[in-house]
Amino acid sequence: MSCPAVTTTSRTALELLLDVEAMTARLRAQLGSPALILHTATLVDHKPGNRAVVHYLGEQSGRAVAFYAKAYPEPARAAFVHDLVCRLCDVFAAAPDLRAPQPLGFDPDLALVVYAPVAGIPLDRLASRPELSSALADAARWLATLHGSRLRLDRTFDVALETADAGTWAGLVATRLPNAGAVAFRLADALQATRPPLRVDAPSPIHKDFHYGHVLVGGGVGVIDFDEVRLGDPNLDLAHFCANLHLLAVRTGAPRTERDRWLRSFLGAYSDATGREPDAAFGWYAAYTCVKIAKQVSTGRGPQPRPAGEARAAQVDLILREGLAWLAR
């Protein structure tokens, strides 16, 4: 039976994903698990026109089970993500303490990818604990493994397109927080005027959305959310993670000296694993990420915890000014 893509605005489609009885029957067939019984279906995230994520809890032959299902607007996109996650499992198979989600199934009718959860707690919960340093080092090793892999990918980071997006994000910031508009446009214009240096090396597989909320810690690290994976400059992932670490420091009240230790732990471990250090492009990508973060904070998205009111405006102002500082270095 063919069903509507779940991430459209169709309420019927979302209801199907959250219908425990209907999805029990469907996933029994899809996963080859006739004893599966679902108990709960919780909508974790829904971005209309883009994706929906549901967390299922249940049992199978008396054993508790948990897994996630992620739906997309088109079957082709879901098929790409499912294939990518399968190949990522192969990439990390030799390092059991570095993990990616385990794929369980793919339903083309629902444009649905089903996968086992990655064990662990979000990296940000370690912000005030001594274990953070080793977790940052593990995150760096995970990223180095991805960058050093030979994943074949059909998308490449488009600097011109992403620079134009930064201008659009600045407009969103100005709409939501008018007092921040001038700084947002100033940073977006500076990105347009400078651009990152051209790379001589071939592009590498990059995550493109690598931040503390996508890193889960426990017996090593696992990383989630591969919707944006493509070829590009490894500096982007490094800068993206570091800019978000700055955001985490702001949100947790960590002093600058502590934040700088976080950055050294992460970048030092990456350099040890790869023999490479951030180059001249790092600052441009960090500034680019700052516009992205400002857009996310101003629109109520991005990594948790998400601020409101005066705290939201303050964080947007701080992160935009950090972006300008990166370009000035």
User: What does the pLDDT look like over 177-208, one tens digit per residue?
Assistant: 999 999 999 999 999 999 898 787 889 999 99
Instruction: Kindly state whether residues 275 and 159 are assigned to the same domain.
Output: yes
Q: Is residue 59 predicted with pLDDT exceeding 80?
A: yes
- What pLDDT sits at residue 192? 96
Instruction: Kindly state whether residues 134 and 253 are assigned to the same domain.
Output: yes
The most distant pair of C-alpha atoms in the chain lies apart, rounded to whole Å, by 61
Q: Is residue 244 predicted with pLDDT exceeding 50?
A: yes
Range of the domain at 299: 121-328
CB 37 within 8 A of CB 64: no
pTM: 0.92
- What pLDDT sits at residue 11? 55
- Give me the number of domains the chain comprises: 2
Q: What is the mean pLDDT of residues 31-52?
A: 92
Q: What is the mean pLDDT of residues 31-51?
A: 92
Instruction: Kindly state whether residues 153 and 108 are assigned to the same domain.
Output: no
Domain boundary, last residue among 116, 138, 154: 116
Can you say whether the dihedral through the CA atoms of 203, 204, 209, 212 is positive or negative? negative
How far from 149 is each of 73, 92, 97, 199, CA to CA, in Å?
29, 9, 17, 18
Alpha carbon distance, N-terminus to C-terminus of the chain: 58
Domain boundary, last residue among 116, 134, 167: 116
User: Rounded to an integer, what distance in angstroms lies between the CA atom of residue 198 and that of residue 279?
Assistant: 11
Res. 316 pLDDT band, cuts 50 70 90: very high
Q: Does some domain include residue 281?
A: yes
Summarised one tens digit per residue, pLDDT across range 73-107 is 999 999 999 999 999 999 999 888 999 999 999 99
Q: CA neighbours within 13 Å on the CB side: how many for 119? A: 7
Q: Does some domain include residue 218?
A: yes
Structure tokens, 247: 């955001």
Instruction: Kindly state whether residues 166 and 248 are assigned to the same domain.
Output: yes
Instruction: Kindly state whether residues 101 and 125 are assigned to the same domain.
Output: no
Residue 24: enclosing H or E segment and its boundaries?
helix 20-31
Instruction: Kindly state whether residues 232 and 166 are assigned to the same domain.
Output: yes
Summarised one tens digit per residue, pLDDT across range 116-152 is 999 999 999 999 899 999 999 999 999 999 999 999 9
Read off the CATH number of the domain in which 285 is found: 3.90.1200.10
Q: Does some domain include residue 1?
A: no
Q: Is residue 71 predicted with pLDDT exceeding 90?
A: yes
Q: Does some domain include residue 247?
A: yes
Domain boundary, last residue among 81, 97, 116: 116
- Using CA atoms in the order 11, 12, 18, 23, what is the torsion angle rounded to 10 degrees? -160
Q: Is residue 9 predicted with pLDDT exceeding 50?
A: no
Q: Does some domain include residue 61?
A: yes
- What pLDDT sits at residue 201? 86
| pLDDT > 70 fraction of the chain, expressed in percent and rounded | 97
- What pLDDT sits at residue 199? 81
User: Rounded to an integer, what distance in angstroms lies between the CA atom of residue 281 and that of residue 288?
Assistant: 11
Summarised one tens digit per residue, pLDDT across range 247-260 is 999 999 999 999 99
Q: Quick one: which of 231, 262, 306, 256 has its CA closest to 130?
A: 262
- What pLDDT sits at residue 154? 92
Residue 225, Ramachandran bin (φ over 0: left; ψ between -120 and 50: alpha; else beta): left
Instruction: Kindly state whether residues 108 and 126 are assigned to the same domain.
Output: no
Structure tokens, 16: 């199907």
Structure tokens, 38: 């679902």
| pLDDT > 90 fraction of the chain, expressed in percent and rounded | 85
Q: Does some domain include residue 5?
A: no
Instruction: Kindly state whether residues 194 and 286 are assigned to the same domain.
Output: yes
Cis peptide before 305, with omega less than 30 degrees from 0? yes
Res. 8 pLDDT band, cuts 50 70 90: very low
- What pLDDT sits at residue 5? 46
Q: Quick one: which of 319, 301, 98, 133 has its CA closest to 218?
A: 98
User: Rounded to an integer, what distance in angstroms lies between the CA atom of residue 17 and that of residue 3?
Assistant: 11
